[in-house]
A and B are shown apart, each in its own frame.
Chain A
Amino acid sequence: MLGNEAVARGLYEAGVTVVSSYPGTPSTEITEFSANYDEIYAEWAPNEKVAAEVAFGASVAGGRSFFGMKHVGLNVAADPLYTMSYTGVNGGIVMAVADDPGMHSSQNEQDSRHHAIAAKVPMLEPSDSAECLSFTKTAYELSEQFDTPVIIRLSTRVSHSQSLCELSDRVNIPNKPYIKNVAKYVMMPAMAKGRHVFVEERTNKLREYAETSPLNCTIYNSTKVGVITSGAAYCYAAEALGNTVSYLKLGIVNPLPEKLILDFAAKCDKIYVIEELDGIIEEHCKALGIKVIGKELFGLIGELSQEIIAEKILGKTFDSVNFTEDIPVRPPVMCAGCPHRGVFYCLSINKIRVSGDIGCYTLGASAPLSSVDTTLCMGASVSGLHGMNKADPEGSSKTVAVIGDSTFMHSGITGLVNIAYNQSNSTVIVLDNSITGMTGHQQNPSTGVNLKGDVTAAVNIESLCKAIGIKRVRVVDPYNLKETDLAIFEELAAPEPSVIIARRPCALLKYVKHKPALVINDCKGCKMCLKLGCPAISNKDGKAVIDSVQCVGCGICTEVCRFGCINKADGGVN
């Protein structure tokens, strides 16, 4: 099974009762799979901080709980995590964080091991699906034994690779009794001082445990070369070097053992540390006085692979046939019929400055729309726009923020509160496609459906914006370019904060009925429709043609063709 599915299976087998997460590639499927088990209450929280606090509450009440996220999500959840380290747990708490070396789907390449070190909580790192399952179960035992949250560190290749797993039954663990304990759970200075002492003692005990834990294992072959490694990097090393070298495979990456590493190093003539992203194990070895080779060979950037390791350590080269001509890149694009496209087209032709955010609509930054000016982190579009407009009030009539519905729920609302409270003349466009699209279509608090698929309360974005204090709130259909363009023009001109909600469901949603593909007759070659960046429209010998397999008949291209060349296949006007 998929690594993420195996973590979910581990949650099930460990008797977990509460799961709360926010989606983020490559972590999302853990929570989706855990929702398939009736015994687990699983939910999408509006953001990672909420998810962490839900898990904390569930633990205090006595249940085993879980929260999951991608690496940058842990930045959002860091606040509760760092103090949860002090309170410890009642029912076990495990969280999973998925790093993305190589940035397949992320805005940075941070190494989440730093968070484990800084929060002083143990972190386990599985290398395949079988370990995802077994480490998750062990994590709950450690959590309750050492009174600490435990982090499972994943990475894209572990989360999204399938390998074989052995399944067992669920252990049904009754909730632990709740006993009021102010010194443990109320972290005000007097109590926190006591708990900090506990945390330092706990780290020492965990380090002691790591010396002999079966999660850290040695595999001795020839001792000419020893490799210290963990996670996916172990798989690449084992593939490249096989049984010609000895391995110390660390399943616990925080805290790192000392005796075990010193002992392994003493037995081997030459030591390589092979780890993805930062040189954390390497620095630890160096601090122990061991001479190791690591980052000077492998670098701090991107994914490792068996090829890189074989090349750097064995000096092996690979021969292969290359295609000799230039191959155009194929960057991701918004789908044919994507509801975001209309808004970006209007922003692009009017040369509006765009404070951007994270979601499918980040693709509005790419050619030919090229209309996004900034993308930082979730929610930053709205708060960033306020900053831009305070620094450059003149610019406010030609600058907007764009933010998706899920991202608005995650952390856009607080930025909008700031706009209303501190009054900047800002125009915020909520791109409401009624789903969390980028991460593979998860529900969110504005969609009216929960993770388990049940109908539930939906946040009304219009009423919310008004309640915050925004007086100008209007809804447009982004398939109607004229209406969208007019709304942007008027709200930018208005001398007060405003919100435009561009509402149309994502074209990939199952309930969205597609219209028949359109065709272009007698194309005049003006290339206006190519400015939409619709992947269904291409340019064949100077004339635009529509690919009938991809086109979903959204019709926005008919609005930009001044010659009326784009019509229904039967000749009718769209």
Chain B
Amino acid sequence: MVKSIMIVGVGGQGTLLASRIIGNALIKKGVDVKVSEVHGMSQRGGSVVTYVRFGETSADKVYSPVINRGEADIIIAFEQLEAARYVSFLKKGGKMIVSTQTIDPMPVITGNAAYPADIIAKIKSAGIDITAVDALELAVKAGSAKASNVVLIGVLASFAVMSDEAWIEEIEECVPPKFVELNKKAFYLGKESI
């Protein structure tokens, strides 16, 4: 079976790094992996989506790099509104991890639209398995608001497929040396929050 993880957030939040860490860690498991990234315009504060698709066994081949509606096994949302926007991509029985952070989009700032209230509760009441974490606060605790992506990887680690060592190895490879300790801390804070 091919499994799909979708990472959604706001351009500039570090979703790309998160998808790379997840993708690289899976590659080391020896399974087929495709990671689809977003560059360019939407990285400027727009709604961004990256996809990670991988085979459960080395016999599973991944063809498409993208994930469609009803296909994602796990969605990691870096922001509440983005969680709401992409919830339809979740498979029946899939899992959503959401950071409780909210970032107003420009139409809300300019007063042309309203930010929906109680998003997490509403998603939950639709029968979706959703885990909410204040990733921003935990990241600040680890030393930098920018590490919320790694906090969320820590949360993912508490549910899934790989040993802590494998994740840590990937974090060491993907972040600049001077931020490794901070990010390790962020990872464990995320993991232990569950």
Contacts and interface: CB of A to CB of B under 8 A. Distances in A.
Contact of B44 (A164, A234, A332, A367): A332
A49 interface: no
Given A239-B64, A307-B68, A334-B44, A160 B106 contact: no
Interface in A216-254: 232, 234-236, 238-240
Contact of A325 (B39, B42, B116): B116
A320 B44 contact: no
Interface size of A as a range: 35 or more
Given A318-B69, A318-B70, A235 B64 contact: yes
A25 B11 CA distance: 15
B12 A335 contact: yes
B157 interface: no
A59 B158 CA distance: 55
A160 B37 contact: yes
B115 A328 contact: yes
Contacts of B119: 323
A9 interface: no
A335 B12 CA distance: 9
B179 interface: no
Interface string B90-119: 111000000000011111111111111001
Interface in B21-44: 23, 27, 32-44
B14 interface: no
Contacts of B36: 157, 160-162
Contacts of B133: none
A104 B70 CA distance: 22
B105 A367 contact: no
Contacts of B136: 549
Interface of B: 10-12, 20, 23, 27, 32-47, 62-66, 68-71, 81-82, 84-85, 87-92, 103-116, 119, 122-123, 126-128, 136, 145
6 nearest interchain CB pairs? A105-B40, A25-B40, A307-B68, A332-B46, A328-B113, A239-B64
14 contacts: A26-B39, A29-B39, A105-B42, A161-B35, A161-B37, A162-B33, A162-B37, A238-B63, A238-B64, A320-B91, A331-B46, A367-B106, A537-B109, A539-B108
Given A530-B110, A539-B104, 12 more contacts: A104-B38, A104-B42, A157-B66, A161-B34, A235-B63, A305-B68, A321-B88, A321-B126, A328-B107, A332-B46, A535-B103, A539-B111
